[in-house]
Amino acid sequence: RIAVVGSNMVDLISYIHRMPGEGETVEAPDFRMGCGGKGANQAVAAARLGSEVVMVTRVGDDVFAETTLKNFEDNRIGTEHVLRTRASSGVAPIFVDPESRNSILIIKGANALLTPQDVEEARDAIARCELIVLQLEIPLETVAAAMALGAELDIPVLLNPAPASPDLDLSRITGVEFLVPNESELELLTGMPVDGIEDIQRAAEVLLAAGIRNVIVTLGARGALWIHEGGRELIAAPAVRAVDTTGAGDAFIGCFATQWVRTRDVAEAIRAGTAYAADSVTRQGTQSSYAWA
């Protein structure tokens, strides 16, 4: 059983010929809505692979809240700790041009209102979990509260420091069991240049010295690099024909979390995560690209 304390968003995807100028109205050929948000994505991947997921998140009081709740139910994610707020739900208007270039707006909405108290109220459910999974699309003090609860209950914490936040300082994440950044997040977190394996190693050593036990850096098509006290291991991703890499990192984390809880074998869980994420990039969409077990 896994606890995810994090965000949910509804992606509002407009397929456009071009962006309208100021004061201008233009027609666009197509529109699609999809469920996203890093927390929800990771929860959905884990649930589709058989994890029982306790999702702690906030939705607003609009139609997007209904969409998100139904999506959790469809994915067998419990909604007991999906809290409602008199606010907008988190939404992401996304504009995709004919060359597949994205322009993305993020309105955090209810996600910005998830509080340490909300985490505390989910204490009993979180206490029954074997791993707590966190990202940075909710307030940092709420992330900190979930980490503190993990420490108190002796439940390991996985932190995906995404989106990269300049406000996250290392002293706040020393107890993390698994830190899972991509290369640019690692760079911002450590303030060190990251270009190639040796740079990653140097940056990761700073994190290990700060008390983080495992640093797992996802490397896109190259897979993932695991760095820990005992050494390092590069785990290649299967070669695939990539169609859409949106949400690949979240697929990796949902699968890694599920496999690690099942086997307690980090290398094996990374292998499973890279394979699952590589499979997801062969299909369009975010959650819609995640396979069921």
Our CB check for ligand ADP shows the closer of 63 and 293 to be 293
Strands 224-228 and 178-179: unpaired
Residue of 92, 112, 210, 219 that binds ligand ADP (CB under 6 A): 219
**196 annotated among ligand-binding-site residues:** no
Confirm or reject binding of residue 194 to ligand ADP (CB under 6 A): no
Region of 49-57, 80-88, 196-204, 239-247 interacting with ligand ADP (CB under 6 A) = 239-247
Confirm or reject binding of residue 258 to ligand ADP (CB under 6 A): no
User: How far apart are alpha carbons 124 and 161 in whole angstroms?
Assistant: 25
Q: Which residue is nearest to ligand ADP (CB)?
A: 249
Work out how close the CB of 286 gets to ligand ADP at its nearest, in angstroms, rounded to a whole number.
10
User: How far apart are alpha carbons 218 and 225 in whole angstroms?
Assistant: 7
Region of 6-14, 49-57, 107-115, 270-278 interacting with ligand ADP (CB under 6 A) = 270-278
Region of 60-68, 130-138, 170-178, 214-222 interacting with ligand ADP (CB under 6 A) = 214-222
**244 annotated among ligand-binding-site residues:** yes
Confirm or reject binding of residue 252 to ligand ADP (CB under 6 A): yes
Confirm or reject binding of residue 165 to ligand ADP (CB under 6 A): no
Go through the chain and tell me how many residues it has.
Answer: 293
- Catalytic option among 74, 195, 250, 265: 250
Query: What is the DSSP track for the chain?
Result: -EEEE---EEEEEEE-SS---TT-----SEEEEEEE-HHHHHHHHHHHTT--EEEEEEE-SSHHHHHHHHHHHHTT-B-TTEEE-SSPPPEEEEEE-TT--EEE--B-GGGGG--HHHHHHTHHHHHT-SEEEE-SSS-HHHHHHHHHHHHHHT--EEE---S--TT--GGGSTT-SEE--BHHHHHHHHT----SHHHHHHHHHHHHHTT-SEEEEE-GGG-EEEEETTEEEEEPPPP---S--TTHHHHHHHHHHHHHHHH--HHHHHHHHHHHHHHHTTSSSSGGGPPP-
Confirm or reject binding of residue 290 to ligand ADP (CB under 6 A): no
- Token pair in block for residue 225: 């690099």
User: Which of 177, 225, 236, 178 has the alpha carbon at shortest distance from 200?
Assistant: 225
Count of residues in contact with ligand ADP, rule CB under 6 A: 18
Confirm or reject binding of residue 39 to ligand ADP (CB under 6 A): no
Work out how close the CB of 254 gets to ligand ADP at its nearest, in angstroms, rounded to a whole number.
11
**222 annotated among ligand-binding-site residues:** yes
Confirm or reject binding of residue 237 to ligand ADP (CB under 6 A): yes
Residue of 214, 274, 287, 289 that binds ligand ADP (CB under 6 A): 274
279 noted as active-site residue: no
Region of 2-10, 110-118, 151-159, 241-249 interacting with ligand ADP (CB under 6 A) = 241-249
Catalytically active residues are: 250
**Interface ranges with ligand ADP (CB under 6 A):** 182, 218-221, 223-224, 237, 240, 242, 245, 248-249, 252, 274, 277-278, 281
Annotated binding-site positions: 9-11, 37-41, 137, 182, 218-223, 244, 246, 249-250, 280, 283, 285, 289
